[in-house]
Amino acid sequence: MRGRALIAALLVLACAAGSGAAWRGSPSFDVAWTAGVGPLGDEGFHVSVPVATIAGRSLVALPSARPPAVRVHDATTGQVLRTFPLSEPYGGLRVDTEFVGGLLAIRTDERPGEQITVHDPVTGQAKWSRRFSFADVPVAAFLPRTAVTRGGIVWASKGGLRGVDPETGRDAWTVPWPQGCAEYELLESELAVIVQNCRDGSLTLHGVDMRAGRVTWAHRVQGSREEIARADVSSTRLIMATGAERLTVLDARGRLIARARHTYPNVARPGAVSDGEVTLLVRSEGGARMMTAVGSRDGRVVWHKSLMPLEPVESAEGYLPGAHTLIAGHAVGSVDHELAARLIEVVSLADGARVVLPLPVSDQGSAVIGATGRDVLVYEAHPGDDRVTAYRFRDGPVERPPLAVPPERWPDACALLDPGALPGYVAVPMIEDHLGLRWPKPDVCEFAPPRDSEALVRVAVTWVAATAADAERLAGTILAADEDAERLGEGAYLSSDMDRDDLRTFAWVVGGGVIAKVQAVGDPATTRRAALAVAAHLRAR
């Protein structure tokens, strides 16, 4: 499956066939700035990166592992403006940040409580710091018991939800816990939302006015013991709930924006983003990803598109991008597996036109972690010094194909394995269709053995990069995701993946700008020999 993941995911995103969108030139991304964040490791894939305009300047808060700190950057240039040290390194602390009005709040998980420290991001002054302890609180210990939103700060007490004055850190009001089901959690939209979970699988959302200190709306979401209702908040602060085969989307005022059918299997993470005029819903139905754009005010359907994955849902290729964030009227999504973090899908909210925009890949993986309004923020893991890069979005027609190297320039897969490497084997060219796109030359070749006792060998071209260096970086990301891969020789690696007989028969090969997959069915020794032969051929190209 790994061998087809990249090309399958890319073609799902890039090819017009089957999607109703014609290729018409693409927008593009340029690097606006990049910032070193130190060795964050896996923590970097889950950090919060809030953005706000304060005193006329666009700011973004990013983590720093060396030294452990939260840094405020100019969101346009990446310049570090302020540094706020942490008491412990990332990994030892769970750290969340948010701009509250004109202030920066840093929340750290210091069990058995939580610490919130508020700073002025312009002057660097510490306004206050307070440790919150929780006793007999009806919110599970593994969930956050505070909520820090753009509108204010709250914390869970035994007697109810308490509001905190962002300027002073003192309690300002208390909202009693809603009656009935006595299990709660907190969501962070523009305001705080109490989620009241019930044993029958349903839930009720309660929106809390952060200034007045009262519940201003409530909305019940049906669920069942088989399909428990869940709630979350999107990057554009919409409140999303799933349950009873429905996706429900509300705004911060509790107004219903849309409700749509959402069924298993999940082929895309359900979600919703809005630019204020149009709201895009992403959901699954009948094994297909459904994208529906509706008017944010009237709920009128603007456009609707569906797309089927190439492979079964349990495979990496069977999962399609959702809508992680929003930039310049376009939803941005990616798939969190292997190379797919660098395959960014951009969908226009206006008409559903969609393209894929490959980004430079890091040595050890990358992921979309946020946006500044016009820039996509990508966390890129590198040995010793990870980075966050802002890619500036350019929405203009650029007449170029979606693939870095067009299909007509891909090599013939049958030519990658020299006849002398496997004496007596017969090459059988194969061309696989991808959403109606058919390669001009075989992208897959099966080598039939001269005797039934010998293994069938399969060689597949999975990607051709614009340069050999690009291919090496791509291969490095694949291998970083496979810690137990074995290096066979220059450019050849044996994957840790097992076949149905628990044998390691999958190999990766990179060279001359080409990435290929090699397998000898049921025969690890022949896999090694064939992979080394393909690697030698690619080096000689």
Tokens 């999107």 appear where?
Answer: 234
Least confident of 242-256, 382-396, 427-441: 427-441
More confident residue, 210 or 324: 210
Work out the angle at residue 188's Cα, subtended by the Cα atoms of residues 183 and 190, and round it to the nearest 5 degrees: 135
- What are the b/e assignments for 148-178, b being 16+ CB within 10 Å? bbbbbbbbbbeeebbbbebeeeeebbebebb
CA–CA distance from 407 to each of 337, 442, 478 (Å)? 24, 10, 22
Q: What are the strands, taking DSSP E only, across 418-490?
A: 426-430, 433-434, 437-438, 444-448, 457-464, 486-489
Residue type, 183: E
Write down the pLDDT at residue 497: 79
Residue 14 clears pLDDT 50, i.e. is over it: no
Work out the angle at residue 459's Cα, subtended by the Cα atoms of residues 454 and 465, and round it to the nearest 5 degrees: 160
Extents of the domains making up the chain: 37-119, 407-540
Write down the pLDDT at residue 158: 93
More confident residue, 52 or 497: 52
Q: What's the CA dihedral at 513, 320, 482, 454 to 10 degrees?
A: -70
Measured CA to CA, the distance from residue 519 to residue 426 in angstroms comes to 15
- pLDDT per residue as tens digits for the range 149-203: 999 999 999 999 999 999 999 999 999 999 999 899 999 999 999 999 999 999 9
Residue 24 clears pLDDT 50, i.e. is over it: no
Question: How much is the average pLDDT of 300-312?
Answer: 84
- pLDDT per residue as tens digits for the range 188-247: 999 999 999 999 999 999 999 999 999 999 999 999 988 899 999 999 999 999 998 999
Tokens of 481: 């995701």
Percent of the chain with pLDDT strictly greater than 90: 54
Residue 317 clears pLDDT 90, i.e. is over it: no
Strand 486-489 versus strand 492-494 pairing type: antiparallel
Question: How much is the average pLDDT of 356-378?
Answer: 75
Number of H helices and E strands in the chain, helices first, is: 3, 41
Domain 407-540 fold: Protein Transport Mog1p; Chain A (3.40.1000)
Residue 315 clears pLDDT 50, i.e. is over it: yes
Per-residue confidence band for 3, with pLDDT thresholds at 50, 70 and 90: very low
Tokens of 27: 């927008």
